[in-house]
Amino acid sequence: MSNQKDLEEYAHVLQQCVRCGACQAHCPVYSETGREGSVARGKIVLAASVLSGQVVLDERLQEDMGLCLLCGSCVTHCPNQVPTDKIVGALRRKITDQHGLSSVGKKVAKVTGSKSLMKTLIKGAEFLSPLLFKKIPESSGLRLRFSPEILKGRSLPPLAERTLFDRVPEFLEGDPEKGIVTVFAGCALSYIYPQWGELLIRIPHRLGFSVYFPKKQGCCGMPALSSGNSALISKLSETNIGALNKKKSSVILTGCASCRGMLAGHYAEKSGSPFDSKILDIHQFLVANGVDKILAALPQKKQTTRITYHDPCHLRSEGITREPRALLQALPQADYVEMEGAGLCCGLGGTFTAHHPDLSRMIGDKKSSGLKKTGATIVASSCPGCILQLQDIIDRNGLQMQALHTLELIDQALTDEQQS
């Protein structure tokens, strides 16, 4: 049974939009297009018109609803906190119910809806290699999200030999007094960046916790949400809820901002959280367990690396901005510098980059000035999708930087101290 609200259930919320225009200054898509239909207040008007029967679900409306990164910036800056991202999601589902899935949605559904197919198609990041791309069936959503045209000129991560499911056991025993934490890795940390997914598991275990990494977990459903595929969202959420609730634990940890947004937000859209444990971003968990203080107590390195941070939209919109910075500022090997525009959207937006590759890059390029001004050689973030996009921005703009997950830098400091 779907835990997603229908558009009709947001009817009363639509009236809370006062058309003040505050969303215009913060919408990354509107800043490039200038189209009223691409900004929150325009979408609210369209949604209300659909409910009243004044507007039909035609191609123009579908195009306007597609011009949304679901970043949540409009919600954060709305004086009445109108949940435009959820309303857009509901309207996309209504469009799908009436017109069926788009070609993008159908192909994305094939791969994200089948873990066995995903594991077959993806050996580490092999699917990202243009030379190996022809191995992927035409039916795969990966062909659309990372088609040869989109890959052309894009910076790609090195190939990983093994997926996260091949790298770690399902359960790592720790100190019984510390208890158990459950890990939800998501697709990117399981298949594209499994080395960081492994740190999501190994670092809590190093702190003494037992770690449960259910092998039956699958895609969080963000691509399905973007496609308006309510049936697939329900299927994936049912699988993940069952897997993550199987063993009693204190928390469910995520290392991907988008995955956390799905589990903590969209899974709980209609009737509250379906999980027995609290969902925490890994940085919240590490700070709560004093890792920032552990790092700060380590001997300062004589030679430090200048590091900055990019706020993923799905953490920034939930106010999770202090914890990643606290950890980075405490690193003994780092000289942390704040970036101008740290909270600007990178422009990836899940399948948005597949639908609108040029617009995605235009939005992303707005970060290049802030990155350059920092003088940093590393930009850290806590969303693998953002990291993929950031490295592409860096390379296309000729910046001498590397995009990394914050977990790699934290692990580096802890490992150096252990070996000294």
Mean pLDDT to the nearest integer, 230-244: 90
DSSP H or E stretch at residue 42: helix 40-52
Mean pLDDT to the nearest integer, 104-111: 45
Same topology for domains 7-99 and 291-419, yes or no?
Answer: no
Categorize the per-residue pLDDT at 307 as very low, low, confident or very high, splitting at 50, 70 and 90: very high
Decide: 307 and 378 in contact? Cβ < 8 Å.
Answer: yes
Does the domain at residues 291-419 carry the CATH identifier 3.40.50? yes
Question: pTM (2 decimals)?
Answer: 0.87
Identity of the residue numbered 15: Q
Categorize the per-residue pLDDT at 151 as very low, low, confident or very high, splitting at 50, 70 and 90: low
Pairing state between β 278-281 and 180-184 = unpaired
Q: What φ, ψ does residue 336 adopt, rounded to 5°?
A: -80, 135
Q: How far apart are CA 374 and CA 82, in angstroms?
A: 34
Identity of the residue numbered 287: V
Categorize the per-residue pLDDT at 99 as very low, low, confident or very high, splitting at 50, 70 and 90: low
What pLDDT does residue 420 have?
A: 58
The DSSP-derived string for 401-415 is -EEEEHHHHHHHHHH
Looking at domain 7-99, what is its CATH homologous superfamily? Alpha-helical ferredoxin (1.10.1060.10)
Mean pLDDT to the nearest integer, 74-85: 93
pLDDT at 265 over 90: no
Categorize the per-residue pLDDT at 280 as very low, low, confident or very high, splitting at 50, 70 and 90: very high
Pairing state between β 251-254 and 278-281 = parallel
Decide: 83 and 104 in contact? Cβ < 8 Å.
Answer: no
The residues with which 251 forms a beta bridge, in sequence order, are: 181, 278
- 298: tokens are 């380590």
pLDDT at 312 over 90: yes
Decide: 167 and 198 in contact? Cβ < 8 Å.
Answer: yes
Q: Taking the domains of the chain in order of start, what are their residue ranges?
A: 7-99, 291-419
Q: What φ, ψ does residue 234 adopt, rounded to 5°?
A: -65, -45
Mean pLDDT to the nearest integer, 257-282: 90
What pLDDT does residue 355 have?
A: 80
Q: How far apart are CA 265 and CA 244, in angstroms?
A: 16
Q: How far apart are CA 73 and CA 311, in angstroms?
A: 12
**Geometric angle at alpha carbon 357, from 354 and 362, rounded to 5°:** 145
Lateral strand order in the sheet of 278-281: 171-172, 210-212, 180-184, 251-254, 278-281
Q: What φ, ψ does residue 133 adopt, rounded to 5°?
A: -60, -30
What pLDDT does residue 390 have?
A: 94
- Rounded to the nearest 10 degrees, the angle between the axes of helix 406-419 and helix 322-330 is 30
pLDDT in tens, 315-361: 999 999 999 999 999 999 999 999 999 999 999 887 788 788 889 99
